Structure 1
Amino acid sequence: MISIKGLSKIFNTDAHNQVTAVDNITLTINEGDIFGFIGYSGAGKSTFVRLLNRLEEPTGGQITINNQEISSLKTKGLRLARQEIGMIFQHFNLLWSRTVKENITFPLEISGVPKTERDDRVQELINLVGLAGKENAYPSQLSGGQKQRVGIARALANKPKVLLCDEATSALDPETTNSILDLLVDINNKLGLTIILITHEMHVIRKICNRVAVMESGKIVEQGNVLDVFLKPKQEVTRKFVEQVMGSNEEEEDLQQLIQSYKHGTIIRLHFVGETTNQALISQVAKKFNVDINILQGKITQTQAGAYGSLFVQMDGDQTEIKQAIQYIEKETSVELEVVQHVN
């Protein structure tokens, strides 16, 4: 779907200094992916996404989308190619003197779509993004989430195959962020759209992306399926991002102190990966075996590929029952189990 080879962008700050914002990036993005790019401020991720539709001109490299090399297109060809690449922005970039309907209509007017066809398409998009009844409202009359929904509808007007999202939820509160992310997943499912999402927030990656690339100093330092990156982050910057949703080393130290305070029973760590998290494991074990189970601490997070996380529990009761319960979990489920502490 999207092939990127040796993509670079160098800015000349003055006669003698240069800044390499994007440094020799090569990767492939599959059709239908929700592919996230995450990095701290200055990592080069926003420059990277603007290179994909040539809002920034590459210094070097190739960008191929749907077998068309974007990086070599001239003015007319680039204008046509951009119709298949929608983009939404952090601060919405709406036309404040135009209504919701007029904002969404604008790219269709530029493309020369007949009025009747425009009207049908705009109403279809308004319904898709959940803005029915707001057709004649102006941006100043809308909430942040509603403004972003207008931006999404406008980006979809020309039926693009790719949607670029540059920090699209950074200006929104957490609840509104989740609703916009849910909308993007819905659009991806209904339209088969390939979505490229730029963010500095790991929970955004966790919630909707199936693949992720971590950027630092203009380079991709780590990439892969989201669940794999959560399970085995290789770079320090990646580990810091994973801690945003899974907890820090300080929290781990607090947990160890809590575990040490228990003077009886067996302390067990249950590690969930993928669909196993959705099983009612604690309930099943409590029903099958004569043991008391006390949940001490845990954090489980959902990704598009399934759930991931750990749960620490205390099992108390007859030692034979506890042993049988442990054997059941190890042999009959795919949950990984580790006995952390055993106190008679």
Structure 2
Amino acid sequence: MISIKDLSKVFKTKDQDVRAVDKLNLSIDKGEIFGVIGYSGAGKSTFIRLLNRLEEPTSGNIQMNDQNLTGLSKNKLRIARQEIGMIFQHFNLLWSRTVFDNIAFPLEIAGIAKSKRVERVNELIELVGLSGRGNSYPSQLSGGQKQRVGIARALANNPKVLLCDEATSALDPETTDSILDLLVNINEKLGLTIVLITHEMHVIRKICHRVAVMESGRIVEAGDVLDVFLHPKEKVTKRFVDQVMGDPDREDSLHLINQNYKAGEVIQLHFVGENTNQALISELSREFTIDVNILHGKITQTQKGAYGTMLVQLVGDQDEVDRSIAYIKTTSVEVEVSPDV
């Protein structure tokens, strides 16, 4: 669906050249929700604007919908962009136009007949949950409602790809969740490919099938969301996973645990999918002559299933503790002995 090869963007300034995107390679499948996450300055906003050539690439190739976007003339690009919708962090609505007219605007530009425009806009108002608000102006809407207008407008020309540039970062948590639910619904109903960028791992966790982590203009890690949660390799990825699963003071917490729970062995368990329902702790207590002390635990849900972690202390004869750890390793629950940062 989308194939990106050696994509680069260099901004030239008086003092230096800034490489915002650096030889980036990525493949995004048709119909998936693909997340790109990174901290400020990672290059993710530049990257998503390169995808529809709002920014012109310095080098590289973007293949989308069987077209080489980087090789299109301005006229052909204008036509190709009708298949690429985009929503923005700050909505970018026309404040002098009603909800109806904001959504209709791309259809007007495309030369769609008025009767068909009215039909299409009414469909979209219903789809995004704004029934009865067609005559309202943006100033009369909440932030979530404004973003729903932005989503409807982006869908006006029946695009195949929807680009989301920090689409929820200006919203409160409850409104964010409602917008994310809407995006999932659109993805499932329309089979739309969605590419979103964010700095919030909660967004990735909730709706994305796969994720790429950006740092200094490069993709440093990518994969299925559940795999990235379970096995984050890069330090930046571990920081993002800790936003959802971890303890922001993990280093201090482990230090306190090592101070206060010197007896026995402290281990960290990782549960995935159906394993989150496994009664492992009670099994250990029954099968081995040890005491199991639960220190900390958390479970969360991703698009591919549940993921949980638990810190426990095993107290007893060392041979019995070692046997219990060996038993855990025979299950599908992953175990990390003496976890550190």
TM range (shorter): 0.7 to 0.9
Match of 1:113 in 2: 112
Match of 1:52 in 2: 51
Match of 1:228 in 2: 227
Quote the Cα distance in structure 2 between the aligned partners of 1:37 and 1:218: 12
Match of 1:134 in 2: 133
Match of 2:182 in 1: 183
Quote the Cα distance in structure 1 between the aligned partners of 2:187 and 2:234: 30
Quote the Cα distance in structure 1 between the aligned partners of 2:206 and 2:239: 17
Q: Please say which of residues 205-214 and 156-165 is displaced more in the overlay.
A: 205-214
Cα displacement (A) at 1:127: 1.1
Match of 2:333 in 1: 335
Residue ranges of structure 2 left out of the alignment (5+ in a row): 316-320
Cα displacement (A) at 1:339: 8.5
| SS of match in other structure, 1:83 | helix
* Correspondence list, 1:1-344, <5 A: 1-14=1-14, 17-248=16-247, 250-251=249-250, 253-254=252-253, 257=256, 269-277=268-276, 279=277, 281=279, 295-312=294-311, 334-336=332-334
- 1:282/1:293 contact within 8 Å kept: no
Cα displacement (A) at 1:172: 0.5
Quote the Cα distance in structure 2 between the aligned partners of 1:260 and 1:272: 26
- 1:272/1:309 contact within 8 Å kept: yes
- 1:38/1:214 contact within 8 Å kept: yes
Quote the Cα distance in structure 1 between the aligned partners of 2:21 and 2:146: 30
- 2:230/2:270 contact within 8 Å kept: no
Cα displacement (A) at 1:312: 3.9
Quote the Cα distance in structure 2 between the aligned partners of 1:327 and 1:234: 24
Q: Deviations over 1:144-191 (max 9, x none)?
A: 011001000100010100000001011011111111111111111111
- TM-score normalised to structure 2 length: 0.86
Quote the Cα distance in structure 2 between the aligned partners of 1:335 and 1:109: 56
Cα displacement (A) at 1:59: 0.9
| SS of match in other structure, 1:241 | helix
- 1:274/1:308 contact within 8 Å kept: yes
Q: Deviations over 1:303-338 (max 9, x none)?
A: 11112221245799xxxxx9999999777x633467
- TM-score normalised to structure 1 length: 0.85
Match of 2:318 in 1: none
Quote the Cα distance in structure 2 between the aligned partners of 1:59 and 1:210: 29
| SS of match in other structure, 2:307 | strand
- 1:35/1:209 contact within 8 Å kept: yes
| SS of match in other structure, 1:237 | helix
- 2:281/2:292 contact within 8 Å kept: no
- 2:43/2:216 contact within 8 Å kept: yes
1:300/1:112 CA distance change after superposition, 3 Å: same
| SS of match in other structure, 1:92 | coil
Quote the Cα distance in structure 2 between the aligned partners of 1:217 and 1:252: 25
Quote the Cα distance in structure 2 between the aligned partners of 1:200 and 1:293: 37
Query: Identical aligned pairs, as a percentage?
Result: 68
What amino acid does structure 2 have at the position aligned with 1:195?
Answer: I
Quote the Cα distance in structure 2 between the aligned partners of 1:193 and 1:168: 16
1:175/1:292 CA distance change after superposition, 3 Å: farther
Cα displacement (A) at 1:261: 5.1
Q: Deviations over 1:44-70 (max 9, x none)?
A: 111111011011111111111011011
What amino acid does structure 2 have at the position aligned with 1:48?
Answer: F
1:299/1:255 CA distance change after superposition, 3 Å: farther
The count of corresponding residues between Structure 1 and Structure 2 is 336
| SS of match in other structure, 1:22 | strand
Q: Deviations over 1:195-241 (max 9, x none)?
A: 11111111111111111111111111111111222222222211221
What amino acid does structure 2 have at the position aligned with 1:127?
Answer: E
Quote the Cα distance in structure 1 between the aligned partners of 2:127 and 2:309: 37
